[in-house]
Structure 1
């Protein structure tokens, strides 16, 4: 099973909350852990909403 890297997901963001520094815009929550780990721990499945960010270094035609 492949791990989901939240840093590469469009929904991931860093919050200003010191107690809950990781957030997911897609699922609408903040967490102490990476959102994908929270999802896995609660459901037993990898995050189904992962949407990879476009590569900034890639040139668009």
Structure 2
């Protein structure tokens, strides 16, 4: 059974999109650009999941304010 890569680069804070049409995706942690998802390249090269994956800081949603609003 083939092992698959569970890392989603779009949720990582090191992931970025480039203007380069030949390499539109990149990883700041490893310092490279690629056509494919960076986590796939890391997984293919090392055989392990990306160890530099760091979740993006998501803004907290505001809770509904109680009280009277004019």
- 1:46 corresponds to: 49
Residue 8 of structure 1 and its aligned partner are, at CA, apart by 0.6
2:14 matches 1:15: no
Structure 1's unaligned 5+ residue stretches are: none
Partner Cα distance (2:36, 2:6) in 1 = 14
Structure 2's unaligned 5+ residue stretches are: 62-70
- 1:24 corresponds to: 27
TM-score (norm 1): 0.87
Partner Cα distance (1:37, 1:2) in 2 = 7
Residue 2 of structure 1 and its aligned partner are, at CA, apart by 6.5
Match of 1:37 among 36, 40, 48: 40
Residue 49 of structure 1 and its aligned partner are, at CA, apart by 0.3
Partner Cα distance (1:15, 1:26) in 2 = 15
